[in-house]
Amino acid sequence: ALFRCKEMLTPKFSVSQDSSHVIVDIWLTGLCRLDKAEASVQDDTLLFSCEPYFLRLQLTGSCLDSDDATAGSSGLTASEFDVDAGGVLTLRIRKLVIGEQFPDLDMLNRLMAPAGASASSCGETAQSERRLLVEELLSGEEPPSECLAAAGADLDWFVEPHLDDEAADCRLATSADAISGGGLGFAFRRRDEQSASMLRGLDHLLPDLASMSHSERLAAKEALEDAQFDADYYLADQLDPSDMLTDILSRPDCLPPLLDSEERRARLMALPRRPLLPPEAGWEMRVCLMALADLVFAFCLDWRVCEGEQTPESARTILTQAACLSCQCPLTSVPQLLRSCYRRLLAYSLLRNWQLCQLVAMDTAGVLSNKRLTLDCLIRLERLLSSVEGYAGVNYLTVTDTCRWVQHCPSDLLNSLSEAIRNAANCFKKEEVGLGLIEWENEATSCGQDLAD
């Protein structure tokens, strides 16, 4: 029978395309017997086996079935086999529609995900009661991106829905060791004591957050920001910026470059393969997208200030800046996102300047408009946090799963979020931050005039 491997290993691979073929390069060791290699293509699914390796890819477009071709060899007649001297097996899979461009072929975790339900069944699931968490974990199925697009199609970025903590939490399966507060981690759905313990002992985290509801965390977060805000510090950076700050503000955009394809591939292959429940339509989809933007804002702040030279201090900066990490606080609209990001920058950042807030917001919009760049920023962030002692827990709970989920997130949805952030930042006023910035600036200006007189 086809594909009988006792010990299945995932080989190193890459996927590219030309106008007529999807090209899959698979790295094989010298111990493999190529005469035993087997492969099959059916619509958008590739199966490959060469003991001890097994690879299943869910491509992002339709290909010619392997048993539909009239010529070929080695059991995969819709493709060609080429082996070069470096031990790379190349599969050339003919597209069903010549000239079609398949999206996201470098999103390896998306390609390796098991085949999900159809888009129609996903829509029905989103409207019905959510299945039990245990059942979904056992199924290991993830829906196609068109299902996620449907889930986010009706989102109004500027409307903040009512947050019902009890309703948000009771959807999820609970256990005997469930914490008393709101959910934690990716999609804020973890409520077990083990997850809560991963966040204990870290500085710059909201105290006792595991026992707080989501609305209580939001209130506690803003209370700490009010207490932390230093008007003299802000006025110094705002009215008399240093040469370093002036240089930072002079750069219109400060976007990180794309990762090398080999580095991106290695980091994606290192991500865990455990089943990942996608966010359901409504509240979970909102908070996941806002958390993504929150992470990107924190990353862009550090990248702009440090000019891309990340250090262990960068991890602390990002952890403190991102409310979804330090406060495990779900945000549900773009205005609420900007309020949170601006307040934390003005209360905790090394440099506290209103123009810096606006520039980082534009950087964030620029990153989110490019799905590949968004993923690369998350990969850099995941690598940074995993390298710092004590940060592995918060990395595991939130950032790692966000890296995996964003590969399934439709580019149109990210572009819509990017445009919403850009438009909101252009008209966001200092009064909306709630720190009395206008009053402090007017008082400082008045005092300066009195001294001049």
Q: For residue 67, give the CATH number of its domain.
A: 2.60.40.790
Question: End-to-end distance of the chain based on CA atoms, in angstroms?
Answer: 93
d(CA 209, CA 183): 10
Q: How far is CA 318 from the centre of its chain?
A: 14
**Edge to edge, what strands does the sheet with 13-17 contain?**
13-17, 21-27, 88-94, 79-83
- Say if residue 175 is in the same domain as residue 92: no
Report CA Rg, the chain. Answer: 25
Does residue 136 belong to any structural domain of this protein?
Answer: no
Q: Tell me what the pLDDT averaged over the chain comes to.
A: 82
d(CA 269, CA 12): 8
The residue out of 102, 130, 156 marking a domain boundary is 102
- Say if residue 357 is in the same domain as residue 216: yes
Which of 61, 1, 51, 60 has the alpha carbon at shortest distance from 28? 51
CA angle 43, 22, 56 (to 5 degrees): 55
Q: What percent of the chain has pLDDT over 70?
A: 78
pLDDT (0 to 100) of residue 71 = 40
pLDDT (0 to 100) of residue 146 = 52
pLDDT (0 to 100) of residue 150 = 52
Helices (H), 307-353: 312-321, 323-326, 334-348
d(CA 168, CA 243): 47
Q: State the pLDDT confidence band at 1, using cuts at 50, 70 and 90.
A: very low
pLDDT (0 to 100) of residue 74 = 36
Contacts of 229 (CB under 8 A, 6+ apart): 343, 346, 347, 435
d(CA 390, CA 198): 9
Name the token pair of 83.
Answer: 């082996």
pLDDT (0 to 100) of residue 202 = 77
- Say if residue 203 is in the same domain as residue 283: yes
- Say if residue 192 is in the same domain as residue 330: yes
pLDDT (0 to 100) of residue 336 = 97
**CB neighbourhood size of 351 (10 A):** 18
Ranges 110-119, 315-324, 423-432: which has the least confidence: 110-119
- Which residue range is the domain that position 393 belongs to? 165-447
Q: Does residue 67 have a pLDDT over 80?
A: no
Three-class SS state of 63: strand
Does residue 112 belong to any structural domain of this protein?
Answer: no
**pLDDT (tens digit per residue) in 314-372:** 999 999 999 999 999 999 999 999 999 999 999 999 999 999 999 999 999 999 999 99
What is the mean predicted confidence (pLDDT) over 219-229?
A: 96
| DSSP codes joined into one string, 346-395 | HHHSSS--HHHHHHHHHHHHHHHT-HHHHHHHHHHHHHHHHTSTT-HHHI
The residue out of 58, 83, 102 marking a domain boundary is 102
What is the mean predicted confidence (pLDDT) over 34-63?
A: 89
**Edge to edge, what strands does the sheet with 38-42 contain?**
38-42, 45-50, 53-58
Sign of the Cα pseudo-torsion (415, 419, 422, 428, in order): negative
- Say if residue 53 is in the same domain as residue 169: no
The residue out of 75, 102, 129 marking a domain boundary is 102
d(CA 137, CA 190): 13
pLDDT (0 to 100) of residue 28 = 83
- Say if residue 250 is in the same domain as residue 321: yes
Does residue 296 belong to any structural domain of this protein?
Answer: yes
pTM, two decimals, is 0.82
pLDDT (0 to 100) of residue 128 = 33
pLDDT (0 to 100) of residue 152 = 53
Does residue 8 belong to any structural domain of this protein?
Answer: no
CA angle 265, 39, 260 (to 5 degrees): 10
pLDDT (0 to 100) of residue 149 = 54
Ranges 85-94, 171-180, 398-407: which has the least confidence: 171-180
Q: State the pLDDT confidence band at 129, using cuts at 50, 70 and 90.
A: very low
Which of 150, 149, 146 has the alpha carbon at shortest distance from 118? 146
Does residue 311 belong to any structural domain of this protein?
Answer: yes
**pLDDT (tens digit per residue) in 137-152:** 333 444 445 555 555 5
d(CA 106, CA 148): 19
Ranges 168-172, 209-213, 249-253, 300-304: which has the least confidence: 168-172
- Say if residue 72 is in the same domain as residue 184: no
Ranges 124-133, 305-314, 332-341, 420-429: which has the least confidence: 124-133
pLDDT (0 to 100) of residue 178 = 58
Does residue 130 belong to any structural domain of this protein?
Answer: no
d(CA 233, CA 351): 9
Q: Does residue 167 have a pLDDT over 90?
A: no
- Say if residue 171 is in the same domain as residue 316: yes
Q: State the pLDDT confidence band at 27, using cuts at 50, 70 and 90.
A: confident
- Say if residue 175 is in the same domain as residue 88: no
Ranges 18-32, 279-293, 405-419: which has the least confidence: 18-32
Name the token pair of 449.
Answer: 């005039």
Which of 371, 368, 347, 346 has the alpha carbon at shortest distance from 357? 346
**Exposed / middle / buried, residue 436 (Cβ in 10 Å: 0-12, 13-18, 19+):** middle
Q: Does residue 24 have a pLDDT over 70?
A: yes
Domain tally, the chain: 2
- Say if residue 216 is in the same domain as residue 97: no
pLDDT (0 to 100) of residue 47 = 92
pLDDT (0 to 100) of residue 414 = 96
Name the token pair of 16.
Answer: 């590219």
- Say if residue 417 is in the same domain as residue 294: yes
- Say if residue 169 is in the same domain as residue 90: no
pLDDT (0 to 100) of residue 148 = 54
Q: Does residue 34 have a pLDDT over 70?
A: yes
Does residue 124 belong to any structural domain of this protein?
Answer: no
Does residue 119 belong to any structural domain of this protein?
Answer: no
pLDDT (0 to 100) of residue 117 = 37
Q: Is the peptide bond before 52 cis (omega within 30 degrees of 0)?
A: yes
d(CA 121, CA 34): 40
